[in-house]
Structure 1
Amino acid sequence: MADYEIFVDRVKKKTGIDLALYKEAQMKRRLTSLYEKKGFANFVDFYSEMDKNRELMDEFLDRMTINVSEFYRNGKRWDVLDKKIFPRLLQSTSRLKVWSAACSTGEEPYSLAMVLSKHIALAQVTIQATDLDDNALAKAKAAVYPERSLAEVPADVKSKYFEEEGSFFKVQPAIKKAVNFSKHNLLKDTYDRNFDLIVCRNVMIYFTEEAKEQIYTNFSKALKPGGVLFVGSTEQIFNPAKYDFEVEDTFFYRKKG
């Protein structure tokens, strides 16, 4: 068995994470640069140390999950969410159940809460936010961000929902309270049900076609009829009907029914 295959097998046994479902060339390149930086010669030696060194294991998970995020990323899509998607969803219910899947360091679910607050009281909002990476979740719960993360945030939102602390910005308590963070593996764990909106952006590009099919199928089952999946700007679904979806807008897919 090749060096990387041994590594994949051992990581799966220890963590439940199946690296075989991630695009191999991308993942190998990313992890090779990490183990070389740490002074290891190959994947097997790297795993041996990772197995007994929690800090190194956390660094591996960080590198694997690519935590790049910002508030209101691709601003025009958030306008569609604000002006079209949320108003339609709120025609049939006064409470929305929303899931920010693979939420990274929290910018996305907090953005969702900020946009939703324009439509309904935050007490009526339940936003579940999940990620695989404990470090990312810890940063998300802290809710303190550098100014560059707020580059696309409208000025009125920035003044209303952030407190400036030195060169950082802290999310207001009312927004923090609207989001519940927890750990979740999209490729392994069970999915909750009856969501009005699922947001999963800029993550699927790292998965194999087999893994994408599995996740889209699970997302479809997790949505209510008429519920919406919001994906990233490089993640258009070319066969939405296969998952019982129809296009509602660019990068927004509505579950039929």
Structure 2
Amino acid sequence: MDFVKFEQWALKEFGINLSAYKSNQLHRRISSLMSRLGVANLEEYVALLERDPAQRQRFLDFITINVTEFFRNPEMFEELKRKISTDLLPINKNLKVWSAACSTGAEPYSLGIILNEVAPLGKHSILATDIDATILGKAKIGEYTISDIKNVKPEYIKKYFTVEGDKYFINSNIKRLVNYVKHDLILDKYEENFDLIVCRNVVIYFNQDVKNMIYEKFYKSLKKGGMLFVGATESIYNYREFGFEKASTFIYKKL
């Protein structure tokens, strides 16, 4: 079995389009994982994934890059907080936000904290999506470690978390802002009329054609004047081609 056939199998088995990823990088990652498991070839790996649920989940976690933390790149979240206050809230007091590829929920809950800080009386909603249903289950629980919350201000920990031993649970007033839905950025339709879309440290793994497709869809999903917030390594150099203007570093505004 070659990687093309493996990608076809993965699309049928998991509904994940691996051909959208940067091929060399993807093949190295899968080969590394197989090596760690002592698997000799792709045929053996497919057989393992078909019989072992734990390895299936490990593969999904490995492919979908479930690395997250609250307020990742804190200075960028501070800038986003300012832009929400100065650009979005004057237009609409009730914001509709999408946290795309949300992983274990640290990002949408970070957004919920920001919204509660800058506009606590607003009727905000946060759609949080990910391709991995198991990860979404963890996100709904809202349980985190000290490592996950290392960037959270002490006053926010007191205000928005319940501490039980070495676990930190996000409070229900933030939880209820977030609706979790399974969604594939490549294969599924996008909702519309968002004031803000946050998609960070995800599209960097995709090839350029897929990146362009995603940015085009994000543009259509935003309201006029809506904003797209991307990761610290994901500058959109051709942002004008999609109809954006640069609102700030890593924040793009729909014209």
Fold match (TM-score > 0.5) = yes
Which residue is equivalent to 1:137? 136
Counterpart secondary structure, 1:164: strand
Cα offset, 1:120, TM superposition: 2.2
Which residue is equivalent to 1:97? 96
Cα offset, 1:123, TM superposition: 6.3
Which of structure 1's runs of 4+ aligned residues deviate more than 6 A? none
Task: Judge conservation of contact 1:3–1:43 (CA < 8 Å) in 2.
Answer: yes
Q: How does 1:188-203 map to 2 (within 5 A)?
A: 188-203=187-202
Farther-moved stretch of structure 1 (96-105 vs 17-26): 17-26
Farther-moved stretch of structure 1 (79-88 vs 5-14): 79-88
Task: Judge conservation of contact 1:100–1:200 (CA < 8 Å) in 2.
Answer: yes
Counterpart secondary structure, 2:128: strand
Cα offset, 1:203, TM superposition: 0.6
Which residue is equivalent to 1:180? 179
What one-letter code is carried by the residue in structure 2 that aligns with 1:244?
G
Farther-moved stretch of structure 1 (6-15 vs 215-224): 6-15
Which residue is equivalent to 1:155? 154
Cα offset, 1:39, TM superposition: 2.9
Which residue is equivalent to 1:229? 228
Cα offset, 1:38, TM superposition: 2.6
Cα offset, 1:168, TM superposition: 1.4
Counterpart secondary structure, 2:211: helix
What is the alpha-carbon distance in structure 2 between the residues aligned to residue 13 and residue 135 of structure 1? 19
Q: Deviations over 1:128-169 (max 9, x none)?
A: 000111222122111111101111111111110011111111
Task: Judge conservation of contact 2:6–2:42 (CA < 8 Å) in 1.
Answer: yes
TM-score by length of 1: 0.95
Task: Judge conservation of contact 2:146–2:166 (CA < 8 Å) in 1.
Answer: yes
Which residue is equivalent to 2:4? 5
Which residue is equivalent to 2:215? 216
What is the alpha-carbon distance in structure 2 between the residues aligned to residue 175 and residue 223 of structure 1? 23
Task: Judge conservation of contact 2:93–2:122 (CA < 8 Å) in 1.
Answer: no
TM-score by length of 2: 0.96
- Unaligned 5+ segments in structure 1 are none
Cα offset, 1:78, TM superposition: 1.1
- Unaligned 5+ segments in structure 2 are none
Output the aligned Cα RMSD.
1.4
Cα offset, 1:58, TM superposition: 1.7
Counterpart secondary structure, 1:51: helix
Identical positions, percent:
44
Cα offset, 1:122, TM superposition: 6.5
Which residue is equivalent to 1:85? 84
Task: Judge conservation of contact 2:95–2:122 (CA < 8 Å) in 1.
Answer: no
Task: Judge conservation of contact 2:21–2:207 (CA < 8 Å) in 1.
Answer: yes
1:255 maps onto 2:254 in alignment: yes
Which residue is equivalent to 2:52? 53
